């Protein structure tokens, strides 16, 4: 009876694993999206994609942490978790401003303005018209009818 129960539990684990992997592959379609990963003993974990420069920085910190440390082990994940858990202590408004500036997209901004604003700001309307060589109608001087008759 125990063998039958163990076999059934193993099949359920494999099915659950397949479901999780299926969910992961669906979530990975988005760029830089977190993906749930239950592969480490049921502990909820996420994956984040980092750049090569970030990985190099992580490697440098890992080397500093592990040099001369023989009474335990530290991984890149341990360092990344430590950094993320303590980031809020050091993250300033200026950091937010820098991140937003680095990832600013004019097209997205304009699209957002068109969705949220009933009318574009005057400066933006003027800049768009100037870009296409269109002057405001009130700036144009129309010839008066009296000068046309003469």
pLDDT digits over 8-49, tens only? 666 655 544 444 444 444 444 445 555 555 555 667 888 899
The strand ranges marked E within the chain are 35-37, 45-47
Q: Is residue 120 part of a domain?
A: no
Of 58, 54, 21, 15, the closest CA to residue 36 belongs to 21
Q: Using CA atoms of 93, 94, 96, 97 in order, give the dihedral in degrees to the nearest 10.
A: 120
Domain count, the chain: 1
Q: Mean pLDDT throughout 143-148?
A: 59
Residues whose CB falls within 8 Å of the CB of residue 90, separated by 6 or more in sequence, listed in order: none
Q: Is residue 141 part of a domain?
A: no
Write out pLDDT tens, residues 55-99. Answer: 999 999 999 999 999 999 999 999 999 999 999 999 999 999 999
pLDDT at 51 over 90: yes
Q: Can you give the residue range of the structural domain that contains 41?
A: 12-49
How far is residue 128's CA from residue 135's CA, in Å, rounded to a whole number? 10
Q: Is residue 65 part of a domain?
A: no
Q: Is residue 133 part of a domain?
A: no
pLDDT at 148 over 90: no
Number of DSSP helices (H) and strands (E) in the chain, helices first: 7, 2
Between 81 and 135, the higher pLDDT residue: 81
The strand ranges marked E within 30-123 are 35-37, 45-47
Report whether 24 contacts 38 (CB < 8 A).
no
Q: Is residue 24 part of a domain?
A: yes
């Amino acid at each position: 009876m125990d063998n039958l129960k163990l076999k059934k539990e193993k099949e359920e684990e494999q099915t659950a694993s397949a479901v999780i992997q299926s969910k992961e592959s669906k979530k990975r379609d988005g760029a830089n999206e977190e993906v749930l990963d239950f592969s480490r003993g049921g502990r909820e974990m996420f994956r984040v994609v980092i750049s090569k420069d970030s990985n190099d920085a992580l490697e440098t910190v890992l080397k500093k942490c592990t040099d001369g440390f023989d009474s335990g082990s530290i991984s890149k994940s341990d360092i990344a978790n430590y950094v993320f858990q303590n980031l809020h202590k050091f993250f300033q408004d200026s950091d937010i401003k820098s991140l937003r500036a680095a990832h600013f997209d004019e097209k997205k901004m304009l699209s957002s303005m068109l969705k949220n604003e009933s009318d574009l700001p005057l400066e933006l309307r003027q800049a768009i018209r100037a870009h296409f060589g269109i002057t405001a109608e009130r700036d144009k001087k129309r010839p008066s009818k009296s000068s046309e008759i003469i």
